[in-house]
Amino acid sequence: MKRQSGMEEEKYLIERVGKENPFRVPEGYFDTLTAQVMARVDASPQPVPSVEKKKAKLVRLRPIHYAVAASVCALFISVAAYVSFNSSSVDSAVQQTVAQQETYDSFDAAADYMMVDNEAIYACLSSDY
Amino acid sequence: MYSDEELSSLLKNPDTQRKAFEYMVGQYNEQLYWMVRRMVLNHDDANDVLQNTFLKAWNGIASFQGNAKVSTWLSRIAINESVDFLRRQKNHGVVSTDDDMSIANTLMADSYFDGDETQALLQEAIAKLPDVQRTVFQLRYYDEMKYSEMSRLLDTSEGSLKASYHIAVKKISEFFKSHD
């Protein structure tokens, strides 16, 4: 049997079934379609301009600020508890000095690691979000 | 009547945006409806998909850069919405394999389908194609869209579109030959 080319198969299909549109729509459908679409458009929020989209990205990043603030607070409370516990021992004065030094070092190291400074932390803690 | 360039610039201006959008809906709704209807087959589904298409276009109007033609931008959204609809339908098992509920029989019982049994069978054969072949076949066979335009619309090479169309035609021809 001879193998049919793509063109011949398309021709066969057109002859066999044609290209007529077998579908129809309810009476007057297209007369009211624009009004129906615009009613839904008007009920939906105004399209967001592209400039405001960038702001939305910043808002989405807020949880990271929360996480940084919470981590810094947790670190601060842990160190304070540690200092308080050690201050009751016999050579508390010496240990407290060491602990304070450690506190300072740990805090600095954490702040450096997270690339935040005091100003950023205060700004974050006093933020409305 | 606005040219495509005029319409693009009116759509980008917040003061004229809504009016231009309304004009655009009136201009393209019928063309897009038939594109969607041939994909989803049923009138109510086509109406839902078309309305969602325009809502998506409205909500994404800021992303319309005006580099593409308005008709290409809208057609792309309409095709994506139609394909998403068909995938959801498949995932929810709406498409029946039961002979009595076959696509051809469902169409023959549809009051908004005027075709005969052969045309219903053609729709069934098209519906059995994978999404890309189905889309390419509809655009080429019914709309007689040029491959260059289709390539811009579907972001696919012309060679690959031609191959998809020929495979689709071959499958549908074989479907009919098996029914003769």
Residue percentage of chain A with pLDDT more than 70: 44
Average the pLDDT over each of A23-32, B47-56, B92-101 and give the range with the smallest value: B92-101
- The pTM (predicted TM-score) of the whole model is 0.70
pLDDT given at position A29: 97
* Alpha-carbon gap: B98 to the closest alpha carbon of chain A (Å): 23
Are the C-beta atoms of residues B89 and B23 closer than 8 Å to each other?
Answer: no
pLDDT at A1 over 80: no
Mean residue pLDDT of chain B comes to 92
Distance of CA A41 to the CA centre of its chain: 27
pLDDT given at position B98: 56
User: Comparing C-alpha atoms, which of B36, B34, B44, B136 is closest to residue B82?
Assistant: B36
The per-residue pLDDT for range B29-82, each reduced to its tens digit, is 999 999 999 999 999 999 999 999 999 999 999 888 777 889 999 999 999 999
Its sign, for the CA torsion B12, B14, B20, B21, is positive
Structure tokens at B28: 């393209």
Distance of CA B39 to the CA centre of its chain: 5
Average pLDDT over residues A12-27: 94
* Alpha-carbon gap: A46 to the closest alpha carbon of chain B (Å): 7
Direct distance between the N- and C-terminal alpha carbons of chain A, in angstroms, rounded to an integer: 76
Q: Do B29 and A50 touch (CB under 8 A)?
A: no
pLDDT given at position A53: 45
**Does residue A23 sit in helix, strand or coil?**
strand
More confident residue, A96 or B53: B53
A88 in a structural domain: yes
pLDDT at A117 over 60: no
pLDDT given at position B64: 83
Supply the range of the domain harboring residue A59: 51-125
Nearest CA in chain B to A18: B119
Place of tokens 């409370």: A77
* Angular region, B66: left φ>0, alpha ψ -120 to 50, beta rest: left
pLDDT at A93 over 80: no
Contacts for A25 with CB less than 8 Å, ≥ 6 apart = B33, B43, B112
pLDDT given at position A129: 43
Mean residue pLDDT of chain A comes to 69
Average pLDDT over residues A12-28: 94
Q: Which helix (H) or strand (E) holds B173?
A: helix B158-179
Nearest CA in chain B to A50: B62
**Does residue B2 sit in helix, strand or coil?**
coil
Cα-based angle B161, B162, B168 (whole degrees, multiple of 5): 90
The per-residue pLDDT for range A71-86, each reduced to its tens digit, is 876 887 887 777 776 6
> Which amino acid, one-letter code, is at B60?
G
A100 in a structural domain: yes
B113 forms beta bridges with A23
Strands (E), chain B: none
A84 in a structural domain: yes
Average pLDDT over residues A91-103: 51
User: Comparing C-alpha atoms, which of B124, B123, B28, B34 is closest to residue B82?
Assistant: B34
The CATH class given to the B129-180 domain equals mainly alpha
- Which of A1, A8, A11, A13 best probes binding to B when mutated, by most B CB atoms within 10 angstroms? A13
Domain segments of chain B: what residues? 1-95, 129-180
Residue percentage of chain A with pLDDT more than 90: 26
Are the C-beta atoms of residues B35 and B79 closer than 8 Å to each other?
Answer: yes
Strands (E), A24-79: none
pLDDT given at position A96: 53
* Alpha-carbon gap: A28 to the closest alpha carbon of chain B (Å): 12
Average the pLDDT over each of A102-116, B12-26, B61-75, B95-109 and give the range with the smallest value: A102-116
Q: Do A16 and B176 touch (CB under 8 A)?
A: yes
The string of DSSP codes covering A84-102 is HHHTTSTTHHHHHHHHHHH
Least CB–CB distance from A44: residue in B25, B58, B119: B58
Interface residues from chain A to B (CB-CB < 8 Å): 4, 6, 9-10, 12-13, 16-26, 29-30, 33-34, 36-38, 40-41, 44-45, 47-50, 53
Distance CA A15, CA A7 (A): 12
Residues of B in contact with A11 (CB under 8 A): none
Fold of the domain built from segment(s) B1-95: Rna Polymerase Sigma Factor; Chain: A (1.10.1740)
Provide the 8-state DSSP code for A46.
Answer: P
pLDDT given at position A128: 46
A32 in a structural domain: no
Structure tokens at B102: 């076959």
Domain count along chain A? 1
Residues of A in contact with B21 (CB under 8 A): 38, 41
* Residue A94 pLDDT grade (very low, low, confident, very high; cuts 50, 70, 90): very low
Average pLDDT over residues B85-110: 81
| Interface pTM, i.e. ipTM | 0.87
Average pLDDT over residues B149-155: 95
Q: Do B173 and A9 touch (CB under 8 A)?
A: yes
User: Comparing C-alpha atoms, which of B158, B146, B8 is closest to residue B68?
Assistant: B8
Burial bucket for residue B137 (CB in 10 Å: 0-12, 13-18, 19+): buried
Structure tokens at A122: 């205060």
Residues of B in contact with A6 (CB under 8 A): 165-166, 169-170
pLDDT given at position A56: 46
Distance CA B172, CA B169 (A): 5
A23 forms beta bridges with B113
